[in-house]
Amino acid sequence: MTSTSDARLETVRNLYAAYIDQRPDLVRPMLTDGFTFSSPRDDHIDRATYFERCWPKERVFSGFHFEHLVPDGDDVIVGYRADKIGGGSFRNIETIRFEGDKVAEVTVYFGRNL
């Protein structure tokens, strides 16, 4: 039997994999209807705006390398290095809040370019 934490970690891994593969169709069912996204550039944007603004029209990233993947109650704290297809990489931290088995909120804290 899979624990709630294990299931949420798997959802997070699938979320990032879908982003790499340009598969928003796989992500939509992972999100609550009231999903919000925040970053230094976006303040609690809704689900529709998230897909318009935050999903590139073409592949940008070659990979996400998880450095931290920590369940904490209803949150999963994610630290990663993102590698760009054209070269370069950066680190970010995100908190992903769950309601049940769906993602309700993502908050991104921008890191530095490497």
**Segment 93-112, tens digit of pLDDT:** 999 999 999 999 999 999 88
**Which pLDDT tens digit goes with each residue over 36-47?**
999 999 999 999
**Residue numbers of the domain that contains 88:** 4-113
Predicted confidence band of residue 59 (pLDDT cuts 50, 70, 90): confident
- Position 1 pLDDT exceeds 60: no
Is the dihedral angle over the CA atoms 44, 42, 50, 66 positive or is it negative?
A: negative
Residue 57 belongs to domain with CATH number = 3.10.450.50
Instruction: Specify the pLDDT at position 2.
Output: 60
Quick one: CA torsion of 89, 30, 7, 37, rounded to 10 degrees? 50
Cβ 88 vs Cβ 113: under 8 Å: yes
Average pLDDT across the chain, whole number = 94
- The CA distance from 48 to 35, in Å, is 9
Number of structural domains (the chain) is 1
